[in-house]
Amino acid sequence: MAQKVKLSTIAETLGLSTATISLALRDSPLVAADTREKIKDQARALGYIYNRRAASLRTSRSGIIGVVVHDIMNPFYGEILKAIETELDRSRHTFILSNHYDSVDKQRMFIETLLQLGGDGVIMSPAIGTPPEDVLLAENNNMPAIFVARSMDGLDVPIYRGDDTYGISLATNHLIGLGHRSIAMIGGTDQTSTGRDRYQGYVNALRKAGIEVDPGLRIPGPRTKQGGFEAAVNFLSLPQKPTAAVCWNDLVAIGLMNGIARAGLIPGQDISVTGYDDLEEASIATPSLTTVWNGQAEVGRLAARALLDKLAGSHEPDGIHLIKPEMRIRQSTAPIRR
Amino acid sequence: MAQKVKLSTIAETLGLSTATISLALRDSPLVAADTREKIKDQARALGYIYNRRAASLRTSRSGIIGVVVHDIMNPFYGEILKAIETELDRSRHTFILSNHYDSVDKQRMFIETLLQLGGDGVIMSPAIGTPPEDVLLAENNNMPAIFVARSMDGLDVPIYRGDDTYGISLATNHLIGLGHRSIAMIGGTDQTSTGRDRYQGYVNALRKAGIEVDPGLRIPGPRTKQGGFEAAVNFLSLPQKPTAAVCWNDLVAIGLMNGIARAGLIPGQDISVTGYDDLEEASIATPSLTTVWNGQAEVGRLAARALLDKLAGSHEPDGIHLIKPEMRIRQSTAPIRR
DNA sequence: CTGAAAGCGCTTACAG
DNA sequence: CTGAAAGCGCTTACAG
């Protein structure tokens, strides 16, 4: 490798000062237009690479934004990330991604690393059991946080997510409307706000329809396709013989449908199944999945915008921003067979 | 936020020099053990945050490793990434992720950003049409590259991937062994090394079995579930009435099976389908998918190790490192019906 | 075992 | 419109 090219290299070869070079490369109107062009050409010719660490050391702004969620391989988060990426790309921010797999330690290590790198802000879907201190660590060090998909009590961090209680009630009401009375709820956990909200929404809808809530019809836990697939055995052996299942999310629903099919029953005919999220995959599942649109792209886009606005100095309203879910009716649900 | 705590803050409160603090925090044996402890306690008490930009400006090592692939939401890459993450976590490197969506521009911008941040190295699955200069840009600026999953001609960058020609021949031979003679190949593109290799492997296997290769049986293009799903229509209307399909990957295979089922046929019985990759999902698809294990976790782990070794100064052998694929036989393939 | 001083490559008032 | 100089917060020879 040749000698490293820096601002001073360009300055020397052009007989100018580093100050002028620095300003010119950042398109400052303080530098005459033709000087600016000359400088840019020279920078290109020399293969100059801007050293962000040096700049950021001086300005204490890095252009780095951290994003940490449960698991980026989960398409639910994937769809959120894609929207965040699009929004951050537009403003030339770099984003650093991490999974926390609901490990508080892994999440804290990520926040610390981000602080060390001088991260400007962090978008997170907090790990189960996150202590408020870990979020305050970021905020107190001038790195604002925005939550997506999950709330946390005791912090007034802006949060963007779907209205889970309402959304799941849409799915439950849809099944009730089709004549189902014995409806199971598969998956999710009480350890997240989302989990509690969705179960509550399911319970509310049943009560409102005058259907007794049977705790035995709840199979908590599964959150993945694999989990839904394995839950099919338990589901099919429930003594109550439910005719329908409200699933925690699309992944669980698709897994459950696979499991039901494996047992020789036809999902969508013998058993009605609803998902949640409306992943891209939901419409091509077989049968195509009746589900609840949960606005992942909206959540990602709005959260990224809110963070960028905050960094730009505007006072974004804190508090909860709920996206209103919508029903998507497809083939996996049908009127009850009498 | 209180006044920022830096090395000199600790030094002053303790009556020591910044040099000693710096050494102590990095566990240098040059500092007496009890001084070291005292310093670490004080750092913790003051809430000191190590400034990596400053350190990296001085040492020109950042601890950052870039990873850029086609699409991190694709579980094939997801499984590679997970293995890379595990390996890099272990050595306390930070990794920055990006999709390139096969846009050469997006990929170049990522490489430039990484250089600006002082990235130590980059693991990439090069975008279609990547000019060698873009990779040399990294290498010439002291940022070594390692390829995963895709090769590129004209560069001697180490590459880790599966043996595609061999792997696809396993799938094709399996179908031939079941009595199939009219076997379609669905998906993939000639624009990647992987695409060319897999088509070649399919052709080789047919020839070796004395089956004439019919170019009309190839439906190139699809690489996703959606793509496979849509290809089902074309597949089912082929005049040759193929009884089996070798798919580009598991996603295409699962999509195709969904499409076949939607048309009222039973995949695995009426039509045999093979996938490629053996994603976690393959075994829970319905029917479970006969596929080729492609060693994603191995690819990721080995590539990360190779990069870390290179950064540590060891001379890693360049060239191609092929993982040997293995057949996984499940329910989606069956003897031909006469 | 500890300290004084230079320097990594930028940006930013301040002058002119 | 351009330049000289200080400083961001570390680490690293070099002394002692």
A286 band by pLDDT with thresholds 50, 70 and 90: confident
Strand-pairing partners, residue A246, are A185, A274
Cα distance between residue B177 and residue B336, in whole Å: 10
For chain A, the 3-state helix, strand and coil shares in percent, each to the nearest 5, are 45, 15, 40
Choose among B278, B283, B228: nearest CA to A285: B228
Query: Which pLDDT score, from 0 to 100, does residue A314 have?
Result: 82
Instruction: Write the pLDDT tens digit of every residue in B137-195.
Output: 999 999 999 999 998 988 989 999 999 999 999 999 999 999 999 999 999 999 988 99
Contacts of A49 in chain B (CB under 8 A): 112, 115-116, 141
Residue length of chain A: 338
Query: Which pLDDT score, from 0 to 100, does residue B1 have?
Result: 40
Structural domains of chain A sorted by starting position, each given as residue range(s) with its CATH number in brackets: 7-50 (1.10.260), 60-162+296-322 (3.40.50.2300), 164-294 (3.40.50.2300)
Looking at A49-93, which runs of residues are DSSP E strands?
A: 64-69
Query: Which pLDDT score, from 0 to 100, does residue A210 have?
Result: 97
Span A131-145, average pLDDT: 95
- How many CB pairs (< 8 A) connect A and B? 104
Strand-pairing partners, residue B327, are B292
Span A17-35, average pLDDT: 90
Nucleotides of C under 7 A from a protein CB: 1-5, 7-13
**Is B239 strand, coil or helix?**
coil
| Residue environment code for B174-196, b if the CB has 16+ CB neighbours within 10 A, otherwise e | bbbebebbebbbbbbbeebbbbb
| Residues whose CB falls within 8 Å of the CB of residue B47, separated by 6 or more in sequence, listed in order | B5
Query: Which pLDDT score, from 0 to 100, does residue B65 have?
Result: 96
A273 band by pLDDT with thresholds 50, 70 and 90: very high
Dihedral over alpha carbons A106, A161, B106, A22 (to 10 degrees): -80
Q: Which residue is nearest to nucleotide C6 (CA to C1')?
A: B58
Q: Distances from the Cα of B109 to the Cαs of B68, B129, B142, in angstroms?
A: 11, 15, 17
Cα distance between residue B292 and residue B279, in whole Å: 9
Amino acid at position B223, single letter:
R
Structure tokens at B79: 């499984």
Strand-pairing partners, residue B67, are B97, B123
Cα distance between residue A266 and residue A19, in whole Å: 72
Question: Cβ separation of B85 and A94 shorter than 8 Å?
Answer: no
Query: Which pLDDT score, from 0 to 100, does residue A1 have?
Result: 40
Cβ neighbourhood burial of A297 (10 Å; 0-12, 13-18, 19+): middle
Instruction: Write the pLDDT tens digit of every residue in A43-102.
Output: 999 999 999 999 999 998 899 999 999 999 999 999 999 999 999 998 989 989 999 999
> How far A14 CA lies from chain B's nearest CA (Å)?
23
Query: Which pLDDT score, from 0 to 100, does residue B338 have?
Result: 63
The phi and psi torsions of B326 (rounded to 5 degrees) equal -135, 145
Tell how many helices (H) and how many strands (E) occur in chain B.
Answer: 12, 12
The answer on pLDDT for A338 being more than 90 is no
Phi-psi bin for B268: left (phi > 0), alpha (psi -120 to 50), beta?
left
Contacts of B78 in chain A (CB under 8 A): 72-73
Cα distance between residue A299 and residue A322, in whole Å: 9
> Considering all CA atoms of chain A, what is the largest pairwise distance in Å, rounded to the nearest integer?
90
| Residues whose CB falls within 8 Å of the CB of residue B101, separated by 6 or more in sequence, listed in order | B70, B71, B127
Q: Which of A56, A78, A229 sits opposite B284 (nearest CB)?
A: A229
Query: Which pLDDT score, from 0 to 100, does residue B115 have?
Result: 94
Q: Which residue is nearest to nucleotide C5 (CA to C1')?
A: B19
Cα distance between residue A190 and residue A221, in whole Å: 9
The answer on pLDDT for A201 being more than 80 is yes
CA of residue A25 to C1' of nucleotide C14, angstroms: 21
Structure tokens at A73: 């391989």
> How far A293 CA lies from chain B's nearest CA (Å)?
18
Looking up tokens 């969904």 gives B258
* Percentage of chain A lying above the pLDDT 70 cut: 99
Span A268-277, average pLDDT: 97
* Comparison of pLDDT for B3 and A332, the residue scoring more: A332
The phi and psi torsions of A41 (rounded to 5 degrees) equal -60, -45
The low-confidence residues of chain B, meaning pLDDT below 70, are 1-3, 316, 338
Write out residues whose CB is closer than 7 A to strand D.
A 15-20, 23, 29-33, 35, 54, 57-58, 60; B 4, 6-8, 18-19, 22-23, 25-26, 48-51, 54-55, 57-59
Span A107-129, average pLDDT: 95
Cα distance between residue A124 and residue A5, in whole Å: 37
A213 band by pLDDT with thresholds 50, 70 and 90: very high
Cα distance between residue B132 and residue B259, in whole Å: 40
Tell how many helices (H) and how many strands (E) occur in chain A.
Answer: 12, 12
CA of residue B44 to C1' of nucleotide D15, angstroms: 31
Average pLDDT over chain A reads 94
Question: Cβ separation of B96 and A97 shorter than 8 Å?
Answer: yes
